[in-house]
Structure 1
Amino acid sequence: MAIAQAAFDVEAATRAYLATVSGAARIRSDAYFEGGYWLTLWGALISIGVAYLFLRMGWAARLSAWAQRQTGGRMFLATALFLLVFSLLTAVIELPWQAYTGYFREHQYGMSNQTLGEWLVEMLKGAAISLPITALAIAALFIGVRRSPKRWWAYGAAGTAVVMSFFIAAGPVFIEPLFNTYKPMPASPLQAQILSMARANGVPAHDVLVVDASKQTKRISANVAGLGPTTRVALNDNLLATKDDAGTLSVMGHELGHYVLGHVVVLILSFVVLITLAFLVVSVAVPALIRRNPAWGIKDIGDPGAFAVWSIVFSVFFLLLTPVTNSLIRFNEHQADIFGLNAARAPDGFARSALRLGAYRKLEPGPIEEAIFYDHPSGATRIRMAMQWKSEHLNEPGVR
């Protein structure tokens, strides 16, 4: 065994896989992903600019006063109404940007299968679902700001955890079926292997669902989503269409890893910590900005119109924390990769899946680039990990 392992060159095997994506395909993938760095910056700047426009032109103050008149001064309702109208107006202003990033650019790089009409309908559906819930949640937060000026941030953090848990639990049952059709995967050796792998790792899966994601995108994906009784195992039809059973098993092993390792709870708690820090920054920065800009016409941090100021502070905060949030997610993805390799025992399938993801993720970034901009390990990192795993399990039965 030691001789066989010594004969396997991890780096050479990694380079051989990476060399299969070259020329125009590599250039296209790099350009698509690198462009995303700028999209993050420009998206934040546009959100900040729109919020500042509402403040500078006095629209936020006038909209706040209008909402309070319409609701008879009942501040919870006034805040919710303000947020609904404000969100709709900003969405209209930002629509060209959203259309570019979500539709035209995706078609430019051959990633989307949607027509413009289909994309618009889905965007409207998403807004119809998220806006009312978000407006009510933020209105409740503003009530806490007004009633408990010193402790609202703690109540807000707890509320954020509840809202995030609700969306994660409700998503697979009530939300995702509004956008896609989920059907049981037909009985096959692959289905049996996925279910066996799930049962062997304590995942309560009795079925595997296939989602028709190909009507929207060319991306491959899978997930173990939900919380408690809403948990379900699913993969998309693009992944199934690869006809690469070992690759599909490696992806499913990765997704099962997220469930077994409790990553949903870990990420909820991690982001609640970041939200708490953001609230603390808001509690200092928003009143200071309001005091320094009386022309905005915003009374205080609890004024519905102050949400425009909140959104600026939040945008700056999370833009600066991009490396932190990416690293939190990437660490969990790395753990799931290791779990998937051990569960599926398909290092070459794993490497082939990493290459497929490389169609829209730059395969070989520099170390600093990967640390700042990647919320998943890069293709090169994943393939090298798979080849290292393979080198440690050469000639063992069941390795694919």
Structure 2
Amino acid sequence: MHESMTFRSALIAFTTCLLLLKALQAQPPAPTPVNSPAFIEAKSFDPAVATKAWLDSVPADKRAKSDAYFEGGYWLILWNFLVGAAIAIFLLNSRFSAQLRDFAERVTGSKTLQVVICGIVYILVVAVLSFPLTLYQFFIREHQYGFATQAFGPWFLEQLVGLSVGLIAGIVALSIFYAVFRHAPRTWWIWGTLVAVILSFIGNFITPVFVEPLFNTYKPLTDATIRDPILSMARANQIPVTQVFQVDASRQTTRVSANVAGLLGTTRIALNDNLLKQCSVPEIRAVMAHEMGHYVLHHGAKLTIYFGVVALFGFALAKFFFDWALRIWGERWDVRGVGDPAGLPVLMLIFVTFAFLMTPVLNSIVRQCEREADQFGMNCSREPDGEAKVALKLGAYRKLDPSPVEEFIFFDHPSGRARIQMAMDWKAAHLPCPNLDATEPATE
């Protein structure tokens, strides 16, 4: 009797549970009330209005200072081109490059050593002649706008270190290029492109890991409130790191920066101490997620390929204009051919001009990768307001709201306005989505 009653009770309870479960499955989700904050925000949030509000939060005097600084950079692009072209023309018309070649031939019969001698002298001469512009652009002007923190002595010492690195890299590159020029006098522009791509790839690998530490000290970040969220994002995106490093950039500049770089076990996440001092954790997460985007999306390799295509075009033009220039001025300059190191200023003049004219294209290639990293970073960090705040901080030295043509020509990163608009669009797309049909009052 007891067992029978127990069985019937269990059967009734089981049947009741099934009926309740069926009723719950048939019942639609509870709608968000029309007067709830989530519903009101979802209906009223306008990304365009929010973007304008962020931009309007910057005082007019700071906007004017930022615009003046960034627009001054447009003229520096021109001045760097003019100075580089003038130096090349001077070395050719004065026959300095030919005399240097003759000197190298008297010193050694080795073609490679002749290139080394000419390369060392050429790099040093260019560095000395262009130093006034370098001094103004990277020291005087940076101090005028309050972005530099380094005295002249330490700054000049770092310039010498950079020149030493440039000498080593330049000599190696020139030796390889001129070996190609000598052995492939007709197809050197094709093989030269291949060499340029390979050297670019090696440079992208070496620079963050081996060159940058020559100028700054890297030490492990010990603040767990900042380090752990960064490592969490890294693990989520399969970035093989177990530590985050901070860089003492504040002794040189007030700018914020970070990077995720490395290959074959050398991958490293680094952020400078200005970022730690000037930004909140959500802002730091937004910055680091962006940098992780470059790594995960393989932008280093992609940019090498993109620039390889541009380089092929540039080398083809160099072949045409080098031959053309030698037919007209070769005897005057005493340049014998592309394998002659006396012709190095001719190549430099061609490539400086090419790079100047290709500025919008090169900037657009980089800007597209930066936009992709922004989108990746937004989905990774989920910090739209943090992204907007960082964009405003970068706006201290990047024009926030340029015209479309201006952004196309001069910007190698999306403008502050574009970045804030992207963040606000993301925010709007991820606000709570109320059931409008269920919450709107019925009308008769």
TM-score computed with the length of structure 2 as normaliser: 0.87
| Structure 1 residue 300 corresponds to structure 2 residue 331 | no
Alpha-carbon distance, 1:172 to partner: 3.0
Contact 2:246 2:271 in 1 (8 A): yes
| Structure 1 residue 102 corresponds to structure 2 residue 138 | yes
Name the aligned partner's letter for residue 94 of structure 1. S
CA distance in 1, matches of 2:169, 2:52: 48
Equivalences, count? 395
Which residue does the alignment assign to 1:271?
307
Name the aligned partner's letter for residue 121 of structure 1. L
Which residue does the alignment assign to 1:46?
83
| Structure 1 residue 203 corresponds to structure 2 residue 239 | yes
Name the aligned partner's letter for residue 133 of structure 1. A
Contact 1:251 1:350 in 2 (8 A): yes
SS in 1 for 2:147: coil
Which residue does the alignment assign to 1:383?
420
Contact 2:98 2:342 in 1 (8 A): yes
Contact 2:185 2:339 in 1 (8 A): no
SS in 1 for 2:130: helix
CA distance in 2, matches of 1:118, 1:322: 32
| Structure 1 residue 90 corresponds to structure 2 residue 126 | yes
SS in 1 for 2:259: strand
CA distance in 2, matches of 1:213, 1:272: 32
Which residue does the alignment assign to 2:321?
285
Match of 1:11 among 48, 52, 61: 48
| Structure 1 residue 65 corresponds to structure 2 residue 102 | yes
Alpha-carbon distance, 1:188 to partner: 1.3
RMSD, aligned α-carbons: 1.3
Alpha-carbon distance, 1:156 to partner: 1.8
SS in 1 for 2:365: helix
CA distance in 2, matches of 1:53, 1:101: 22
Which residue does the alignment assign to 2:384?
347
Name the aligned partner's letter for residue 175 of structure 1. V
Structure 1 segments, 4+ long, off by >6 Å, are none
Deviations 1:308-347 (A, max 9, x none): 0000000110101000000000000000000000000000
Gaps of 5+ in 2: 1-37, 434-444
Q: Call closer, same or farther: CA 1:54–1:17 in 2, change over 3 Å.
A: same
Deviations 1:270-327 (A, max 9, x none): 1122122111111111121122112111111211010000000001101010000000
SS in 2 for 1:121: helix
CA distance in 1, matches of 2:298, 2:39: 36
SS in 2 for 1:230: coil
Deviations 1:40-72 (A, max 9, x none): 011011000011001111111111111122122
Which residue does the alignment assign to 1:318?
355
CA distance in 2, matches of 1:363, 1:280: 37
Alpha-carbon distance, 1:75 to partner: 1.3
Match of 1:174 among 169, 188, 210: 210
| Structure 1 residue 262 corresponds to structure 2 residue 330 | no
Kindly name which structure, 1 or 2, has the bigger radius of gyration based on alpha carbons.
2
CA distance in 2, matches of 1:222, 1:327: 21
Alpha-carbon distance, 1:158 to partner: 2.1
1:144-163 equivalence runs, <5 A? 144-163=180-199
Which residue does the alignment assign to 2:70?
33
| Structure 1 residue 111 corresponds to structure 2 residue 153 | no
CA distance in 2, matches of 1:2, 1:257: 32
